[in-house]
Structure 1
């Protein structure tokens, strides 16, 4: 499955030039078997590098893995929740293109959003190309109404269109998503769309989520790309559809895997020593640190041989988002046939979205057919600590009954509740101070959705993009050809937003915010 790029303005990032394969033996340790680590391992192994992936979990996929559980409902699978593979995820789709399968993804026909005040939005029938996508959404949406537009601040609204990455990230240093929307003057109904979908999809509270990152998401998914807001999801559980076949592909390239944990990294001239939890030590020419935020912070900040105190401090300051919950329920009766595969919710207590797995996952569909029930998954993001499991479950079940009333009478044959706190927080710290792919030591590179990226990408696509970038950086050092990348447009699709802002003087106020009494931007 190769990435199908429909947007003629998508940016091509050329690969580093060089030989087709390494001229001498090179060994690389990839710490982490998630999307970032798998992208880096693929990029290196395809150029003849000897790659070892360290991943303590039995399955690959990192925070997008799935695993088997046995219980009252029989042998079923569990995961950390539904994931949307947007059409703009060019570099992730390039990775999945290595899977020897006809179609590991399945299209989801709509992405409806429902608010507790009775309003509902849909993205199924709006045009894909800006500005018609925005105009079409306003014309059909009960959340955005034409009569609301005079109340929107024009300067701030135009800044949604007048983007230039990565400078747009920098211009919003210190500003939260909520502050931006306060100044924008969104009608209260529309704030749910912006806050719940974009901020909470990062597992963050809007008060603690970067405005620059939110603008990047508006640009990538809505205002700057013609790929649209619809997406695909895995056609079966993640391990079956994606990571096991990709793991087989990597094994065919000679990639080895160690099911262990890296205790420490010692960087030195020309290589690195990695000590594992069993006490053994292994030598490598380079290391790709592609673990989750906690392990990246620990291994990076404690690595020896990296003589750069400011960098070490930046690594030690990596933050994690608040806890989130995924509750999967195997119910004894089906939900109504009209229910979508995925529904985003706002104003329903802790409930952020509902998935009906048999709508898209083959294993869940077989279970539903044989048991006459539905597999329903509930997500709750940015939870307050400490999390009371029993109280959370009661509230989620009550809110599910408000959203899908037929579930009030459903019995539960089996359920699994997962509460985790291991996702990165894209906060208000200066963009330039976030860790990037390169480090002060040439033999150590970073990858993952924790890592800063100059392109308007996030979540799984940031993990894949930085994984490819990490591989490219090492290949560049060894004079080997890297891998071409793609990204949504880095600037606005049209010149009129900047021209209009210049005409109104808004652009000058934006670039010098203290003139308007704002001190939280650069």
Structure 2
């Protein structure tokens, strides 16, 4: 038996090299980051003085958007004595974590957009959970795995509570792929990668790296195995593809989830759907504090005067299409005779005369119907049939496809309004002292496009410059049998054309567990975080690929009976492309009575996904409390900067630049076992 060659990761390095790379102060910091004395959460916005917590006068606030950010802002303000009105366009609250009822073979279920993991460093979200006394709505998931289609062995992560650099040491020792990382610490370029990701600094990292995409960054001399094993699957879980993700955002993401996180990779899931587990308790607390929640409220106007917001107008209806909105051309779906606008489950077919557009959103369960030439349209999910004009001709749908009038066309953008909207109430004007705008990026753009009066030009420009990431898709399958599974109940996947993760709902959520125990079946969900539309231009392509890859991932299901599938496909997640940080608005805007909340705002500390949404909502409420002389809510985060931040330069990185390599030839070496 031959001995494997030593990995370059563990080759001895000279003292001179280590001191040059880290510096004496940093080496001291390494020692202080022991397994016993870990970093504690950092405090943000803790007032030095003790101030009143509640208003002593009548104060009002309007929150637009009922996702996690808007719900959090409305909750905090309602607890502080503000009369809060929350306006949400959809029938359900929750935004990207919304839940809604479906039927499967005559049985009632609640479904949602996809699995969400709750990590222990979601300090502000867990603080909210504890205030609501709902921690029992969550269950610990004991392991987390990444499964690769080829080349690499599965990575199994168990909860560890070690901080950087010990978490990296644990990872290196425990990884079955460590000899394939391609990491060579005798190369300056590879040390530089470590310095970038372990040296996150909110100011310097964005100045230095925000103009570079992750794809371009790793195209340099980057450890290829390390990228494929860890960077690619984890980067895509940010819901942004590497070619459209800023390196600065990636370093913030990795700092929050790994390099600056002392809590390990343990996480929890909800015992039921996100609605019952989290959204409904927050909404109940808002109402109990005297707040008002209005769903199916479409914003029809945003009124301005002298650069300030003076009011919001909305209509309440069951379609959410009473207000004009803009959609972009989708060149992947069109041909010489037809033009299509929008993406995901919001696609519109323009009539030949350019005067009308037909919504291709199936009125059964929201999938996008597919053109069938002169025969009309068919839904790829459940077989609903529609004629060329959108009239129902067969299948489970009961309502015709919606029709829209073209109000305006500006190049590749259309402004549409419902042609024959369902009955709606009259337009309702509402005013308040403060306005928190917490819709998703698509909603924010459309709302600000309805502005009337003296709009603040810089704020308008900031909103319109917000980016949307590539579409996401999930499909949930019900089968008549279970199957063996050696990995975690939520497992990341890598190397597949479309699928990024698999979730076994019949192992996690109570209702699905009960159904599986009663029937012997299983419920499996596949998730694609950010696919390319050119590769999957239609939902029929997505569904076919999902099913093909499911049987590759779980061959035992190939002979099972598929009972039902539930499909979600949208293009509304927040984008973080290169050069977007400069124009990204913060929670406090340039308009005193206008606040922003959402996972798309610029944050003063590292956070991600749901924690970013919750923290932004609290920050918006804090900004209002500060204007009113009230005590701000202390917020927690992981360490503000990475351990190697003192070495981080603020000078913009230039790709292909040749840095002076460290001196690796000095015979005075430090053996690996002495580094601890």
The reply to whether TM is greater than 0.5 is yes
2:499 aligned residue:
351
Q: Is the 8 A contact 1:98 1:249 kept in 2?
A: no
- Matches of 1:33 and 1:7 in 2, distance apart? 37
Shift of 1:13: 1.1
1:182-219, Cα deviation, whole Å (9 max, x unpaired): 33612235434212222x12322201101111111211
Which of 284, 297, 306 is the equivalent residue of 2:445? 297
1:11 aligned residue:
42
1:318 aligned residue:
466
1:72 aligned residue:
105
Q: 1:220 to 1:514 in 2, by over 3 A?
A: closer
How do residues 109-508 of structure 1 correspond to structure 2 at under 5 angstroms?
109-117=142-150, 118-124=152-158, 126=160, 128-145=162-179, 148-150=182-184, 153-183=190-220, 185-188=222-225, 190-198=227-235, 200-259=236-295, 260-268=297-305, 272-277=310-315, 278-300=426-448, 302-304=450-452, 307-336=455-484, 338-385=486-533, 387-493=537-643, 497=644
Shift of 1:282: 1.1
Q: Is the 8 A contact 1:306 1:441 kept in 2?
A: no
Q: Bigger CA drift: 102-111 or 345-354? A: 102-111
Q: Which has the larger radius of gyration?
A: 2
Structure 2: runs of 5 or more not aligned? 1-36, 316-425, 659-676
Q: Is the 8 A contact 1:64 1:79 kept in 2?
A: yes
Give secondary structure in 2 for the equivalent of 1:344.
strand
RMSD, aligned α-carbons = 2.3
Structure 1: runs of 5 or more not aligned? 1-5, 502-506
Q: Is the 8 A contact 1:176 1:206 kept in 2?
A: yes
Which of 616, 635, 651 is the equivalent residue of 1:511? 651
Q: Is the 8 A contact 1:170 1:432 kept in 2?
A: no
- Matches of 1:403 and 1:515 in 2, distance apart? 38
- Matches of 1:180 and 1:267 in 2, distance apart? 43
Shift of 1:83: 0.5
1:409-457, Cα deviation, whole Å (9 max, x unpaired): 1211111111111111111124232111122211110000111112111
Which of 74, 82, 92 is the equivalent residue of 2:115? 82
Q: Is the 8 A contact 1:344 1:354 kept in 2?
A: yes
Runs of 4 or more above 6 Å deviation: none
Q: 1:228 to 1:304 in 2, by over 3 A?
A: farther
Q: Bigger CA drift: 259-268 or 402-411? A: 259-268
Q: Is the 8 A contact 2:465 2:583 kept in 1?
A: no
Shift of 1:304: 4.2
Q: 1:7 to 1:460 in 2, by over 3 A?
A: farther
- Matches of 2:654 and 2:165 in 1, distance apart? 31
Which of 105, 128, 132 is the equivalent residue of 1:95? 128
Q: TM-score, normalised by structure 2?
A: 0.71
Shift of 1:176: 1.0
Shift of 1:32: 1.0
- Matches of 1:196 and 1:43 in 2, distance apart? 35
Shift of 1:127: 5.1
Shift of 1:100: 3.6
- Matches of 2:494 and 2:258 in 1, distance apart? 19
Q: 1:189 to 1:398 in 2, by over 3 A?
A: farther
Shift of 1:181: 2.6
Q: Is the 8 A contact 2:300 2:450 kept in 1?
A: no
- Matches of 1:122 and 1:337 in 2, distance apart? 13
Q: Bigger CA drift: 237-246 or 152-161? A: 152-161
Shift of 1:400: 1.4
Q: Is the 8 A contact 1:272 1:287 kept in 2?
A: no
- Matches of 1:41 and 1:103 in 2, distance apart? 23
Which of 75, 81, 86 is the equivalent residue of 1:53? 86
Q: Is the 8 A contact 1:108 1:341 kept in 2?
A: yes
Give secondary structure in 1 for the equivalent of 2:200.
coil
Give secondary structure in 2 for the equivalent of 1:148.
coil
2:96 aligned residue:
63
Q: 1:301 to 1:388 in 2, by over 3 A?
A: closer
1:91-123, Cα deviation, whole Å (9 max, x unpaired): 111222233435121111111001111421121
Shift of 1:37: 0.6
Q: Is the 8 A contact 1:138 1:145 kept in 2?
A: no
- Matches of 1:147 and 1:174 in 2, distance apart? 26
Q: 1:193 to 1:333 in 2, by over 3 A?
A: same
Q: Is the 8 A contact 2:181 2:224 kept in 1?
A: no
Aligned length: 502
Q: Is the 8 A contact 2:587 2:595 kept in 1?
A: yes
2:138 aligned residue:
105
